[in-house]
Amino acid sequence: MNKQFKKADVVIIGGGVFGCAIAYYYTRNNPGQKIIVLDRNELCNAATSHAAALVTKIRAKKSFIPLSLETYQVVAEMEKILGESMDMKFCGVIHLAASEARLAELKELMAIAEEFNQAAHYISPEEAHQMSPWLKTDEALSIGYMPDEAYCDPYLLGTFFSRCAKLQGAEFIQGLEATNLIMEGNDVLGVHTKEGDIIAGTTIVASGAWAPKFAREAGVSLPMAPTRSQYWITEKNAIFPVNSPIVLLPDAQAYARPEGGSLLFGIRERNSLSVSADVIPSDVNDFSFSPDKGVQDLSEVIDRLARFFPKVYDIGMKYYVAGFSGYTPDNNLSMGIAPGVNHLLMATGCVGAGISVSGGVGLAFAELAAGKENPYDFSAFDLQRFGEVDPFSPEWLERCARARSTKVSG
């Protein structure tokens, strides 16, 4: 063991939205306890800041919903603490079904909204087009609308968590890398850094795309793969009102939301890219996600989108954004107590929903780190549900990439 640099009750590897959220809840619920968050770069500078940031509550995967509901509650709580607005955009969500399969899914989604006491009703194609003038609705069999859904600035959400956590006593150390876990038999005792060791009662890995490497050190096969998520932002145009709703187009495997007079949209490419955590540089901004900025990927599937957004061929593309999400073959989160070792928690595998579920994830891991019961049912996210896997193997990476390519929900 090297020289001791610091000691804490909890140390978190990774200062993205999950790490910052955990720090917030832990300091809120355990005053006087010491928590340290490490990030080798800047807080919320990797996957968090690259997210499309749909904070959708109602999903087909009902295990996500309580986590997202908590996100809405905690945003209001943090706004009171800081005396500032996070400027959540409560624009609602349009769900458009244009096939019998998607129609059945929409009916189920509307029933789920009712089950969770969330506002939802059907609207006409004309109403949907009035809300989103770019949207072509003549193929719609049914359109659902959930008025209370929102999107946000993901960096702002992450920094709200970190600022409130600091006010409550959390320590954030930026520019310092956790190089390795400190292991003693099956016990994780903290992390090594170039400044010395940080000894902690509980270590939480919330390092996103790099999480499989830390898990490997502890002998844990983490069932997720760093998988590219990408989206485009158009030029500004009058057909994209700033207050228009989020639009989910499962028949096109696409989503869209307003972005300051432009349209931000994403669509599942035919061949998603999953890579080994071993090849990702320490600064994700140095990774080449697409040499042509997604042009080839978009060209292969643009016809699907054009069914509902015909002007996509004419509107210029101003920005291309890409980052990593932790995907799994079943598109469920992968997180919880690390099996076979002590004092290690894995807050990982966001499957593109990290911003939305961040409140619930933060609360869950704060409670687990304090030795309390998880307030949520994480059985669908169990780290051993796929059996023994090699998360660095080409076969596993392909399974996770295929899961993203075939995903139809938001």
Specify whether 291 is located in the same domain as 183: no
Q: What percent of the chain has pLDDT over 90?
A: 96
Q: Are residues 343 and 244 in the same domain?
A: no
In the chain, what is the greatest distance between 2 CA atoms, to the nearest angstrom?
68
pLDDT at 6: 94
Burial tier of 311 (Cβ tally within 10 Å: 0-12, 13-18, 19+): middle
Give pLDDT, residue 54: 97
59 plus 94 within the same structural domain: no
- CATH number, domain of 307, equals 3.30.9.10
The β-bridge partners of 249 are 254
Residue-wise pLDDT tens digits, 146-159: 999 999 999 999 99
Kindly report the CATH number assigned to the domain that includes residue 184. 3.50.50.60
Q: Where does a domain end: 325, 351, 370?
A: 325
Q: Provide, rounded to the nearest whole percent, the portion of the chain with pLDDT above 70.
A: 99
What per-residue confidence (pLDDT) applies to 4?
A: 79
Do the domain assignments include residue 409?
no
If you write DSSP's letter for every residue of 287-330 in order, what string do you get?
S-S-TTTTHHHHHHHHHHHHTT-GGGGTSPEEEEEEEEEEE-TT
Residue 141 in this model has a pLDDT that exceeds 90: yes
If DSSP codes are grouped into helix, strand and coil, which group holds residue 115? helix
pLDDT at 302 over 70: yes
Q: What DSSP line would sit under 238-296, residue for residue?
A: TTS-TTPPEEEEGGGTEEEEEETTEEEEEE--SS--B--GGGS-SSGGGS-S-TTTTHH
Asked whether the predicted pLDDT for residue 193 surpasses 60, the reply is yes
The rounded distance, in Å, linking the Cα atoms of 255 and 268 is 9
* pLDDT digit string, tens, across residues 49-79: 999 999 999 999 999 999 999 999 999 999 9
Query: 115 pLDDT exceeds 80?
Result: yes
Instruction: Characterize 22-50 residue by residue with b for buried, 16 or more Cβ atoms within 10 angstroms of its Cβ, and e for exposed.
Output: bbbbbbbebeebbbbbbbbbebbbbbbbb
DSSP codes of every residue in 50-88: G---EE----SSGGGHHHHHHHHHHHHHHHHHHT-----
Clarify whether residues 48 and 174 are in a common domain. yes
pLDDT of residue 409: 66
Residue-wise pLDDT tens digits, 73-84: 999 999 999 999
Same domain as 372, residue 297: no
Strand 254-259 vs strand 262-267: parallel, antiparallel, or unpaired? antiparallel
Is 292 or 1 the better-scoring residue by pLDDT? Answer: 292
Is the residue at 85 inside a domain?
Answer: no
Structurally, the chain folds into a number of domains equal to 2
Strand residues in 3-57 grouped as ranges (E): 4-13, 35-39, 54-55
Report how far residue 169's alpha carbon sits from residue 178's, in angstroms, rounded to the nearest whole number: 21
At 285 the pLDDT is 86
Q: How far, in Å, CA of 293 to CA of 305, rounded?
A: 18
**Is residue 398 one of the residues assigned to a domain?**
no
Single-letter residue type at 363: L
Residue 2: the pLDDT is 66
Mean pLDDT of all residues belonging to the chain: 96
How far are the Cα atoms of 53, 99, 269, 355, 372 from residue 251, in angstroms, in the given order? 21, 7, 13, 24, 42
CA dist list (Å): 189 to 109, 183, 354: 44, 6, 27
Residue 258 has pLDDT above 90, yes or no: yes
Last residue of a domain, one of 301, 325, 349: 325
What is the residue range of 339's domain?
Answer: 4-72+154-222+329-389
pTM above the 0.75 mark?
A: yes
Same domain membership, residue 129 and residue 28: no
Q: CA–CA separation, 96 vs 105, rounded Å?
A: 11
Mean pLDDT of 262-291: 94
Strand pairing category for 254-259 and 246-249: antiparallel
Flag whether 116 is in a domain. Answer: yes
